[in-house]
Amino acid sequence: MIRFHEVGLSYTDGVESDGRAGLVLRDISFTVPSGGFRWLLGPSGAGKTSLLRLLTLAVRPSQGEAVVLGQPIHLASRHALALLRRRIGVVFQDFRLLGHLSVFDNVALPLRLDGRPEGQIRADVAEMLRWVGLAERMAALPPTLSGGEQQRVAIARAVINRPALILADEPTGNLDEAQAERLMQLLIEMNRLGTSVIVATHQTGLVERYAAPALRLERGRLVGDG
Ligand SMILES: Nc1ncnc2c1ncn2[C@@H]1O[C@H](COP(=O)(O)OP(=O)(O)O)[C@@H](O)[C@H]1O
Ligand SMILES: [Mg+2]
C-alpha cells in the first residue's frame, strides 16, 4: 500500500552551487503493508518531515518511484492527488489549524469536505473532542489555546474521518505523559481497525513503550528498516 523505490527528494530542484545534487532524501526504499504501523525515527534534520511531506503528497519525489495507497504519486495527476489526500490524515508538527475557525469547525472540516450530513458531523465531532479532552473548548478559536490543546485539535482533525493512512509528525511533542498515552491509545485503536499509521518522533520513551517496526533515517538515508 506504501512502496518507495529509490526515492530522492531535492528542495532546490536540481543542483547546488557547488555542483552536488541537493538531495535531502536519497535512495529511500521501503514498503508498509496495508494496516501496518511504523515509527519514523532519526535525529533532527535527518529528513523525517521531508519523508512525511512526500507521503502527504505535499511534494513529489525528485527521483525514483513512490506508491501511496496504491497510487503511483510520481505519475498521478493533480486531481488524483487531491482525491488521494482526502484519504490521508495528517498531524503536522506545527498543527496548521485555521485560526479564524472554532475548534469544532476545524475538526469538522474533513467531514464537511466528504459531504457528511450535519447531524452526523455534530455527533462525531463532539465525541472526538470528548475523547481528546476538549469538549469544553469546542467554541474556542485555536490561537487562544495552549500548544498541547492545539496539538490535540490537530490530532482530532487528522483521525475524525477514519482515513486509510495517518501520518503524525512529532504528535506528542507538546503533550504531557498522560495525554501522550491517550493519543497513542487512539492511534493504536485506529491501527487495529485497519488504518495504516506512521509516527515520526525522536522521543525514545514513547518508542520503548509501544514496540513496532521502525524506519530509521540518518542524513537523508534509510539506515534501518525493521
Ligand atoms: N523547505 C525546505 N527547503 C530547503 N531545505 C529544507 C526544507 N525543509 C527541510 N529542509 C532541509 O532538509 C533536511 C531535512 O529536514 P527535515 O525533513 O525537516 O528533518 P527532520 O524532520 O528529521 O528534522 C534538513 O537539512 C533541512 O534543512
Ligand atoms: Mg521534523
Least confident of 10-24, 151-165, 175-189, 190-204: 10-24
Distance of CA 160 to the CA centre of its chain: 13
What distance in angstroms lies between residue 41's CA and the mean position of ligand 1's atoms?
Answer: 14
What distance in angstroms lies between residue 125's CA and the mean position of ligand 1's atoms?
Answer: 34
Contact 174, 201 (CB under 8 A): no
Q: Of 86, 32, 96, which Cα lies nearest the Cα of 56?
A: 86
Q: What is the pLDDT of residue 13?
A: 65
**Alpha carbon distance 21, 9 (integer Å):** 10
Q: What is the pLDDT of residue 14?
A: 56
What pTM was computed for the model?
Answer: 0.92
**Residue 205 binned pLDDT confidence (cut-offs 50, 70, 90):** confident
Looking at every residue in the chain, the average pLDDT score rounds to 92
Cell match 487512539: residue?
186
Amino acid at 159: V
Ligand nearest to the CA of 40: 1
- Nearest-atom number in ligand 1 for the CA of 93 is 21
pLDDT at position 15 over 80: no
Q: Which residues contact 193 (CB under 8 A, 6 or more apart)?
A: 162
* Ramachandran quadrant class, 165 (left: phi over 0; alpha: psi -120 to 50; beta: rest): beta
- Nearest-atom number in ligand 1 for the CA of 43 is 22
What distance in angstroms lies between residue 48's CA and the mean position of ligand 1's atoms?
Answer: 8
pLDDT at position 18 over 70: no
Ligand nearest to the CA of 44: 1
Contact 127, 186 (CB under 8 A): no
The H or E element that residue 72 is part of is: strand 71-72
Largest CA distance in the chain: 58
Average pLDDT in the 89-112 region? 96
**Alpha carbon distance 184, 189 (integer Å):** 8
Asked if residue 47 has its Cβ within 6 Å of ligand 1, the reply is yes
**Alpha carbon distance 200, 120 (integer Å):** 32
pLDDT at position 81 over 60: yes
The H or E element that residue 214 is part of is: strand 214-218
**Residue 179 binned pLDDT confidence (cut-offs 50, 70, 90):** confident
Q: What is the pLDDT of residue 48?
A: 96
Asked if residue 151 has its Cβ within 6 Å of ligand 1, the reply is no
Domain ranges, ordered by start, for the chain:
34-60+81-215
What distance in angstroms lies between residue 9's CA and the mean position of ligand 2's atoms?
Answer: 15
Closest residue by CA, ligand 1 atom 8:
50
- How far CA 45 is from CA of 24, 59, 118, 148, 202, in Å, comes to 9, 17, 42, 23, 11
Contact 190, 113 (CB under 8 A): no
Most confident of the following: 105-109, 110-114, 222-226: 105-109
Asked if residue 40 has its Cβ within 6 Å of ligand 1, the reply is no
CATH among 3.40.50.300, 3.40.220.10, 3.10.20.30, 3.40.50.720 for 34-60+81-215: 3.40.50.300
Q: Of 195, 180, 216, 207, which Cα lies nearest the Cα of 89?
A: 195
- Nearest-atom number in ligand 1 for the CA of 12 is 4
- In the chain, pLDDT over 70 holds for what percent of residues? 95
- 2 beta partners: 32, 68
- Nearest-atom number in ligand 1 for the CA of 217 is 22
Closest residue by CA, ligand 1 atom 7:
11
Asked if residue 43 has its Cβ within 6 Å of ligand 1, the reply is no
